[in-house]
């Protein structure tokens, strides 16, 4: 892949990632500095590679450096959702951005230099090619989490596919072909020619017009593959790097061939009856090809600029209103019901990170709460989860009846039921006890219900006393065990009854619960003598 193009794509990404990570927080700032340091060290390590011997000696060290960079980038990616909206001083942003651009420029520059260096061993490229592809893919992943439209989707997807191909088949079996002289409209013919050589391989076009090349894998025999490329002249054949450069012959690409007639003159085969001497492209044709390439380059640049402007506009749209805007919350309430899924999802997530007391208007607060309530009936699990978090945050204890209704319905899956139980435990509302105790009968929800009742504490005691004699052995066991954790003296009669009449497991649980209650009772009275 053209490393200059990668850098041009990632430079605007750097600032986005920096803002997203939130450098005012200690952990994101430290992690971001570790990324810069890892890239600098990796660039310095690559700088020492000058010939085959130094490349071979550096392979093990480079593998460690690439792994270190991957680990800190993974950590940064994990921090982005948590610190997405964190602000940082402008001077800090500019300093870290400059350092990051410098580090990435050095890394990409060194990889570009090495790609043009002949004679480096395959041991070096096994490490360098996979490691660099992983590093570039990590950059795209970080950007896609905060601004999915900043990086062209085709470029990000192609890089991911190349990385998968390298990891699946190894560097030794993946070949990159760079075509020169490929005329407009000839791309499909070139790809078809290569597919005929290795029909079972995977083919990745690095850009629309094959200007960046074609990645092919698996290729078992590199030399045989090169010999089979018969529709042009091979100008570069680097077996260690698995790189081929080829000057395409447009006539051969269309299926023609060259022979001699009986008179010894050159005869062109491919069009019936056509005979002429092969003199190569005329100066006029060469000039035309040159102008055509220049025109294609201009159009490609114009398309890139238009796409970049479109992406920046989209990014501003996704960011939403300014937090300092007096009508910020009113505008966010409107964005909650946007027909644009990305805008809606971003808004729902952002409003879960604010304090409702910051909203000046009670009507706006109610409107936000009502729109979160509407999500409770959504069939989409993620939207429903947003609704649960939203009504709990914006509705407070008023949300308890709604959460209990959803808890008892068939529209709530296990993951969202777990979220509801966590919220009910936080509210410490006695209305939640009976419905939660009822979930002890459900094997799929018993564990989460148990944890919720334990957090509800003494509020759950009376209902648990009523539940302890249950004929369901698992429910009985859970109730007896919970009474030991949350019960008081009034739980002792039912526990003593269970200790004498229940199953062996229940009897042991009941005895343990009695000891726990007695210990708490004596501790509360100041007598901490051993009761066991």
Query: 349-360: per-residue pLDDT in tens?
Result: 888 888 888 888
**What is the C-alpha R_g of the chain?**
34
Q: Quick one: pLDDT band at residue 282, thresholds 50, 70, 90?
A: low
Q: DSSP letters of 27-52?
A: HHHHHHHHHHHHHHHHHHHHHT--SH
Q: What is the pLDDT of residue 478?
A: 93
- Assigned token pair, 494: 């039912």
Flag whether pLDDT at 126 surpasses 60. Answer: yes
Top CATH class, 432-532 = mainly alpha
Average pLDDT over residues 428-439: 92
486 falls in which pLDDT band (50, 70, 90)? very high
Q: Is 441 exposed, middle or buried (0-12, 13-18, 19+ CB in 10 A)?
A: middle
Q: What is the mean pLDDT of the chain?
A: 79
- Alpha-carbon distance of 507 to 515, in angstroms, equals 12
- For the cut 60, the answer to whether the pLDDT of residue 260 exceeds it is no
- pLDDT bin (cut points 50, 70, 90) of residue 511 is very high
Residue spans per domain, the chain: 1-171, 174-257, 340-427, 432-532
pLDDT tens-place string over residues 172-201: 888 888 887 777 667 778 888 888 888 888
Least confident of 39-53, 69-83, 301-315: 69-83
Of residues 138 and 407, more confidently modeled? 407
Assess whether pLDDT exceeds 50 at residue 267.
no
> Quick one: average pLDDT of 131-157?
68
Residues near 407 by beta carbon (within 8 Å), at least 6 away in sequence? 417, 420, 421, 424, 435, 436, 439
Which has more pLDDT, 475 or 213?
A: 475
What are residue 205's DSSP bridge partners? 214
446 half-sphere exposure, CB direction, 13 A CA radius: 14
**Residues shown for the chain:** 532
Is the confidence at residue 261, as pLDDT, over 60?
no
Q: Which of 238, 237, 252 is nearest to 190 (CA)?
A: 252
Confidence band, pLDDT 50/70/90 cuts, at residue 263 = very low
Please give the helix or strand (H or E) that residue 140 lies within, else none: helix 122-146
Instruction: Choose between 18 and 65: higher pLDDT.
Output: 65
Please say whether the beta carbons of 443 and 415 come within 8 A: no
pLDDT at 462: 94
Q: What is the mean pLDDT of residues 8-27?
A: 48
Check whether 454 has a pLDDT greater than 70: yes
pLDDT of residue 55: 80
Q: What is the mean pLDDT of residues 320-345?
A: 87
DSSP 8-state assignment for residue 302: H
pLDDT band at 20 (very low <50, low <70, confident <90, very high): very low
* Strand order across the beta sheet in which 202-205 lies: 202-205, 214-217, 175-180, 243-248, 232-238
pLDDT band with cut points at 50, 70 and 90 for residue 527: low
Question: Does position 286 have pLDDT exceeding 80, yes or no?
Answer: no
Could you tell me the pLDDT band of residue 480, with boundaries at 50, 70 and 90? very high
| pLDDT score, position 180 | 79
Paired tokens of 223: 């030399």
pLDDT, tens digit, 9 for 90 and up, residues 240-252: 778 888 888 877 7
Beta bridge partners of 175: 216
Per-residue model confidence (pLDDT) at position 207 = 65
For the ranges 46-55, 146-155, 209-218, 520-529, which has the lowest average pLDDT?
146-155
Q: What is the pLDDT of residue 56?
A: 84
Average pLDDT over residues 379-387: 87
pLDDT band at 493 (very low <50, low <70, confident <90, very high): very high
Q: How far apart are CA 162 and CA 213, in angstroms?
A: 12
Other beta carbons within 10 angstroms of residue 526's beta carbon come to: 6
DSSP 359: -
Which residue shows structure tokens 């699946």?
168
Q: Is 503 left (phi over 0), alpha (psi -120 to 50) or beta?
A: beta
What are phi and psi for residue 258, nearest 5 degrees? -120, 135
Per-residue pLDDT at 52 exceeds 70? yes
CA dist 171 and 17 (Å) reads 30
Q: Tell me the average pLDDT across 290-301.
A: 89
Residues 6+ apart with CB under 8 A from 370: none
State how far the Cα of 416 lies from the Cα of 381, in Å rounded to an integer.
Answer: 7
Is residue 175 a contact partner of residue 242, using CB atoms and an 8 Å limit?
A: yes
Distance CA(29)–CA(26), nearest Å, equals 5
pLDDT number for residue 133:
79
Average pLDDT score over residue span 215-227: 85
Confidence of residue 514 (pLDDT cuts 50, 70, 90): very high
Give the contacts of 6 (CB within 8 A, at least 6 positions apart).
Answer: 108, 136
Helical pair 341-351 and 328-335, crossing angle rounded to 10 deg: 130
Report whether pLDDT(23) > 70: no
Please tell me the predicted confidence (pLDDT) of residue 152: 59
- Exposed e or buried b for every residue in 327-361, given b needs 16+ CB within 10 A? ebbbebbebbeeeeeebbebbbebbeebeeeebee
Residues 6+ apart with CB under 8 A from 336: 344, 347, 348, 351, 368, 371, 372
Q: What is the mean pLDDT of residues 201-208?
A: 74
433 confidence band (pLDDT: 50, 70, 90): very high
Q: How many CA atoms lie within 13 A of 54 on its CB side?
A: 9
């Amino acid at each position: 892949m053209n490393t200059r193009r990668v850098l041009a794509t990632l430079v605007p990404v750097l600032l986005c990632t920096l803002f997203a990570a939130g450098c005012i927080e200690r952990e994101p700032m430290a992690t971001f500095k570790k990324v810069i340091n890892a890239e600098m060290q990796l660039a310095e390590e690559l700088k020492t590679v000058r010939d085959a011997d130094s490349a071979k000696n550096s392979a093990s060290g480079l593998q460690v450096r690439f792994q270190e960079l991957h680990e800190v980038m993974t950590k940064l990616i994990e921090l982005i959702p948590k610190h997405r909206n964190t602000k940082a001083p402008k001077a800090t942003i500019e300093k870290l951005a400059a350092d990051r651009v410098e580090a990435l420029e050095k890394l990409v520059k060194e990889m570009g230099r090495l790609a043009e260096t002949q004679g480096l061993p395959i041991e070096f490229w096994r490490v360098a090619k996979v490691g660099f592809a992983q590093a570039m893919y990590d950059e795209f992943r970080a950007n896609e989490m905060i601004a999915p439209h900043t990086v062209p989707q085709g470029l990000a997807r192609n890089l991911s596919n190349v990385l998968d191909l390298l990891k699946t088949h190894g560097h030794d079996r993946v070949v990159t072909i760079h075509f020169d002289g490929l005329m407009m409209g000839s791309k499909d013919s070139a790809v078809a020619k290569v597919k005929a050589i290795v029909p079972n391989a995977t083919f990745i076009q690095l850009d629309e017009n094959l200007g960046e090349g074609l990645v092919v894998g698996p290729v078992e025999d590199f030399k045989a593959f090169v010999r089979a490329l018969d529709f042009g002249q091979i100008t570069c054949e680097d077996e260690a790097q698995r790189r081929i450069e080829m000057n395409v012959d447009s006539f051969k690409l269309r299926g023609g061939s060259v022979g001699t007639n009986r008179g010894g003159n050159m005869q062109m085969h491919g069009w019936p009856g056509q005979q002429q001497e092969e003199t190569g492209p005329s100066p006029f044709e060469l000039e035309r090809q040159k102008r055509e390439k220049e025109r294609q380059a201009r159009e490609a640049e114009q398309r890139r600029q238009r796409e970049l402007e479109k992406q920046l506009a989209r990014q501003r749209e996704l960011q939403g209103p300014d937090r300092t805007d007096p009508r910020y919350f009113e505008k966010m309430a409107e964005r909650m019901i946007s027909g644009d899924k990305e805008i809606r999802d971003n808004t729902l997530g952002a409003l879960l990170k604010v304090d409702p007391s910051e909203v000046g208007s009670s009507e706006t607060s109610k409107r936000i709460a009502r729109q979160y309530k509407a999500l409770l009936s959504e069939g989409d699990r993620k939207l429903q989860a947003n609704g649960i978090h939203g009504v709990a945050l914006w509705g407070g204890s008023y949300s308890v009846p709604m959460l209990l209704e959803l808890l008892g319905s068939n529209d709530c899956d296990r993951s969202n039921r777990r979220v509801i139980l966590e919220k009910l435990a936080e509210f410490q509302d006695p209305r939640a006890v009976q419905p939660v105790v009822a979930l002890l009968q459900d094997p799929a929800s018993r564990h989460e219900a148990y944890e919720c009742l334990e957090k509800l504490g003494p509020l759950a005691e009376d209902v648990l006393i009523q539940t302890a004699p249950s004929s369901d052995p698992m429910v009985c066991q859970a109730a007896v065990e919970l009474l030991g954790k949350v019960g008081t003296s009034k739980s002792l009669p039912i526990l003593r009854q269970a200790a004498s009449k229940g199953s062996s497991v229940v009897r042991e649980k009941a005895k343990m619960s009695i000891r726990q209650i007695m210990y708490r009772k004596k501790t509360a009275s100041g007598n901490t003598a051993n009761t066991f």
